[in-house]
Chains A and B, each alone.
Chain A
């Protein structure tokens, strides 16, 4: 299957949006494009699995190469393995949902959908790129749309948050760039990931470059202490944007940290692993505790995202096959779950015009559907079996526990402890905002979800449950590649 399609579809969608005038047509265009993309993603998944069944053992499938800047060793080089397919699938789902959720967007709708599509395009390109240059290209391609989405359509202190987000993400990618150039120079002028993987950089070089690449991507996935863009950014962003932000863009970081840092610089990864684990444990527990104190629903979810992405980092840092698999699962799961959560918050906010849990209350009575969606999202994020979160977190725990020494054990226990704190703040938030007596008179006549919201939520919930009930399909998809990465470590 031709991977360039994954870029052509959004591109043509964007062009279509530019040409069209009426917002109705534009959003239709966007929806159609994203749904085609989802179809493509599923087709890709099937094609991949059939190819594997037919015994194709090459590391990356459906490779596509085109010399772009030959004299600099820069090329368009695409290819996918299980991990990237999982991410592509996630992206496609979230994009469809996000576009459906912003169906009513009237103010400058054209620009809005255009930016959404561009953002998604950046993600797709990032996940299929095997060339560090084009990967970096797509990584930065996604930054400015985020900025504009937040700054123009956001709420609250949107400009501050948008600037902060853009700058911190840019800083992250700047670090990544330094690391990449270092690898490029030492590996003999190549940006090709597969060649770099064979290059075996000397340990000193790895030690020098690893922090840049890892922390750079860490900023994207809100690693402590570079996570502060996340709460402000998420809370100021419009619904779809925060869905994309938390659902897709934070995953760029995790994916990059796993692929570019750990896989390409394995020895350094082992060297720095304790540090990573410490950071991750801090992020997990500290994020959770910080969440307990938040009053704003979006802040709650944003901080919980920090805590949940801590699991991704932890899984990566633990460097066992299971934990890495768990990290990818967690990325997938967190993407869907947090997107759903933000969607629910957005729906509430549209209607009640407040996100302060103090002011909300008793909404279950007037908007049962939305409240149920929020409940499901909440239960998923506190790791209830039957939802994706449980599977992912348990896999991470299991993988972490495989390292038998006290340090790793303690870190794992700290991480486990977070499930209690998570329960506390999730229930606090849900209880205060949805249950109890109705706080505000005008809540009594608020409408429940509309068709597009229902479809979108259903899509997300179904995919969450698909992972929650039958994790094995994704697990089997990821494990081989996780194994590959761990083998690179020489374990």
Chain B
């Protein structure tokens, strides 16, 4: 604040967004320059830049406020941006195989990074206007991305479903915002949180805004778009939707609930309780019968959203920490799964569970990667997912809401059932001509190695959690 108009501090505080902007500019120029085909150097270059962006995010000292509180950055937010950036990097790496034979690869990366930037702003938003702009910036390009397989029916259908329903939801969200504005007379988070008066209008606003978030995080009953969109969209986009945008929104929700609606903690605890309970349960029930792996992963991600809300309901530093930690783990696990899926479908176009029967025969390593990721999603030790999920539940247990705990615990069992279904198809069942051996290109290999390492090791280094915890204490 003091050094607000100090350029260096300005750069420092917004370093991540500025970095992304730089990358975007590079891409734009590359697009202008490029003739028939994009230069082979571009892709690696962008990857390296992204990596740099990720690395600078993890030092927890970029903190400050800009534009009279419209833009806020704290170590924790920086961390969250880093996590999202890491996820995007991994997705880009995995997308390589699919992009190779796609004529708009540069635009793809551009849109992706634009979305990421929108999310960064979303996290840093300290003001409802900023928040709304960032939200749209991170939504609209996604719709375009969903349609990226221009000639595929399902791709455009999913894009349509996404854009229409997100337009609707942002309308509702906006209505909530307007009510909030009317009730408190301000758009600034801090001022809003100060000037609550407990009117029903505020509560209504809370619910409208929550439903806007719930839509993006895919919380039952606001989740229905998820499955269709995930199924239709190109795999990298699905991965992005299920990991990055979900993550961004849950982080933003943390800010929104803890910072803005702190006064209504008692109320939104109940909301989270109900929402999380039905989300877990219905997500599981839907996932049980899915045959298409993308769709199946969509529903599993819905279930995970339920657990995220459970952790969030802890309403404490543990709550925030567990959410961030889980997202980190979730990126590794989910992208591990999507990575393998991406390779397979790029090579063979197969996405059904039964196609994976006897997968182990020709691709032992890939199937172990896949299996590990699924176990991590199911929360089976020694994978990191176990720790992530357990910390969420532990944070949620702080109120000691017994039914809540029981529901969560039992849902872990149900979810195991369908994760095992996929594992069984790969490792146990056989078919006459199983999928051929699938080549793993360099970038994808890097991505998978990172994911597996993350899945296997994260849990054993308590320091990671502790670090996030120290950051979130100041949060």
Given A144-B375, A144-B380, A151-B424: A166 and B400 within 8 A (CB)?
no
Complex interface: chain B residues within 8 A of A171 (CB)? 410, 413
In angstroms, how far is the closest chain A Cβ from the Cβ of B150?
42
Q: What are 18 A-B residue pairs whose CB atoms fall within 8 Å in the complex? A: A67-B462, A68-B462, A71-B469, A72-B391, A72-B394, A141-B381, A151-B428, A163-B424, A166-B416, A166-B420, A167-B413, A171-B410, A174-B410, A174-B413, A175-B409, A182-B397, A184-B397, A185-B400
Asked if B462 contacts A69 (CB within 8 A), the reply is yes
Report if A40 contacts B (CB, 8 A): no
C-alpha gap A166/B465 in the complex (Å): 29
Given contacts A152-B428, A185-B398, A186-B400, 14 further A-B contacts (CB under 8 A): A71-B318, A72-B465, A133-B390, A163-B420, A166-B416, A171-B410, A171-B413, A174-B409, A174-B412, A175-B409, A177-B393, A178-B406, A178-B409, A181-B397
Question: Smallest CB-CB separation from A66: which chain B residue?
Answer: B462
Nearest-CB residue, chain B, relative to A205: B400
Bits for B379-420, please: 1 = Cβ < 8 Å to A, else 0.
Answer: 011100010001101100110101001100110110011001
Which one of B390, B412, B429 has the greatest number of beta carbons of chain A within 10 Å?
B390
Q: Does A148 contact B (CB under 8 A)?
A: yes
- Indicate whether B466 reaches chain A with its CB closer than 8 angstroms: yes
Does A420 have its Cβ within 8 Å of any Cβ on chain B? no
Does B288 reach chain A (CB closer than 8 Å)? no
Q: Are B413 and A208 touching (Cβ within 8 A)? A: no
Chain B: residues with CB nearer than 8 A to chain A? 318, 321, 375, 380-382, 386, 390-391, 393-394, 397-398, 400, 402, 405-406, 409-410, 412-413, 416-417, 420, 424, 427-429, 462, 465-466, 469
Residue in B386, B390, B427 whose beta carbon sits within 8 Å of that of A151 in the complex? B427
Q: Does A375 contact B (CB under 8 A)?
A: no
Given the known inter-chain contacts A70-B466, A71-B466, A74-B462, please indicate yes or no for A181 contacting B405, CB distance below 8 A. Answer: yes
Contact count band on A: 35 or more
Q: Are B428 and A71 in contact (CB under 8 A)?
A: no
B402 with A184: CB separation less than 8 A = no
Does A469 sit within 8 A of B, measured CB to CB? no
Contact with B along A166-206 (1 / 0, CB 8 A): 11001100110110011011100000000000000000000
- Does A143 touch B at the CB level, under 8 Å? yes
Identify the closest chain B residue to A182 (Cβ): B400
Also in contact, A181 and B462, with CB within 8 A (given A137-B382, A144-B380, A208-B402): no
Tell me whether B380 and A140 are in contact (CB under 8 A).
yes
Is A137 touching B386 in the complex (CB atoms < 8 A)? yes
**Is A147 part of the binding interface, using a Cβ–Cβ cutoff of 8 Å?**
yes
B417 touches A163 (CB 8 A): yes
Q: A448 on the interface (CB 8 Å rule)?
A: no
Cα of A137 to Cα of B375 in the assembled complex, Å: 14
Nearest Cβ on chain B to A160's Cβ, whole angstroms: 11
Q: Which B residues lie within 8 Å of A185 (CB)?
A: 397-398, 400
A-side contacts of B424, CB under 8 Å: 151, 159, 163
**Taking the nearest CB of chain A, how far is it from the CB of B366, in angstroms?**
15
Residues 333-361 of A contacting B (Cβ, < 8 Å):
none
Partner of B427, one of A137, A143, A148: A148
Residues of chain B within 8 A of A175, CB atoms compared: 409
Identity of the chain B residue whose Cβ is nearest the Cβ of A118 in the assembled complex: B382
- B428 cross-chain contacts in A, Cβ below 8 A: 148, 151-152, 159
Closest to B421 in A: A163
Contacts of B410 in A (CB 8 A): 171, 174
Contacts of B382 in A (CB 8 A): 137, 141
Q: In the complex, which residue of chain A has the Cβ closest to the Cβ of B464? A: A69
User: How far is A175 from B429 in the complex, measured between Cα atoms in Å?
Assistant: 31
Q: Is the CB of A181 within 8 A of B413?
A: no
Residues of B within 8 A of A69 (CB): 462, 465-466
Minimum CB–CB distance for B56 against chain A, Å? 26
Q: A177–B413 Cα gap in the complex (Å)?
A: 12
For chain A, residues 68 to 98, give those with C-beta under 8 angstroms from any C-beta of chain B: 68-72, 74
Q: How many whole Å from A252's CB to the nearest CB in chain B?
A: 14
User: For the complex, what is the distance from the CA of A148 to the CA of B416, rounded to whole Å?
Assistant: 13
Interface centre among B321, B382, B394 (most CB of A within 10 A): B394
Please name the 3 residue pairs, one residue from A and one from B, whose CB atoms are nearest each other, closest first.
A174-B409, A181-B397, A69-B462
Q: How far is the CB of B463 from chain A (nearest CB, A)?
A: 10
Contact check, A70 vs B462: say whether CB atoms are below 8 A apart.
Answer: yes
- Chain A residues closer than 8 Å to B386, beta-carbon distance: 137, 140
Contacts of B412 in A (CB 8 A): 170, 174
Q: A19-56 CB contact bits vs B (8 Å, 1 = yes)?
A: 00000000000000000000000000000000000000
Give Cα distance in the complex from A182 to B406, angstroms.
Answer: 11
List the A side residues contacting B416 at CB < 8 Å.
Answer: 166-167, 170
**A140 and B381 contacting across the interface, CB-CB below 8 Å:** yes
- Nearest-Cβ distance from residue B416 to partner chain A, whole angstroms: 5
From B398, B405, B427, A152 is in contact (CB under 8 Å) with B427
Q: Name B413's contact: one of A70, A141, A170 (CB within 8 Å).
A: A170
Residues in chain B near residue A174, CB distance under 8 A = 409-410, 412-413
Cβ-closest chain A residue relative to B466: A71
Smallest beta-carbon distance B313→chain A, Å:
14
User: Please, which residue of chain A has its CB at the minimum distance from the CB of B416?
Assistant: A170
Residue on A with the closest CB to B411? A174
Is the beta-carbon distance between B462 and A143 smaller than 8 angstroms? no
Residue of B nearest to A150 (CB): B428
* Chain A 250-307 interface residues, beta-carbon cutoff 8 Å to B: none
What's the least CB distance linking A152 to chain B, in Å?
5
With contacts A72-B394, A151-B424, A184-B394 known, is A137 near B466, CB below 8 A? no
The CA-CA distance from A136 to B391 in the complex, in Å, is 13
CB distance from B398 to the nearest CB of A (A): 7
Of B409, B410, B417, B465, most buried by chain A (CB within 10 Å of CB) is: B409
- Min C-beta distance of A238 to chain B, whole Å: 13
A133 to B459: give the CA distance in the assembly, Å: 13
Chain A: minimal CB distance from B462 (Å): 4
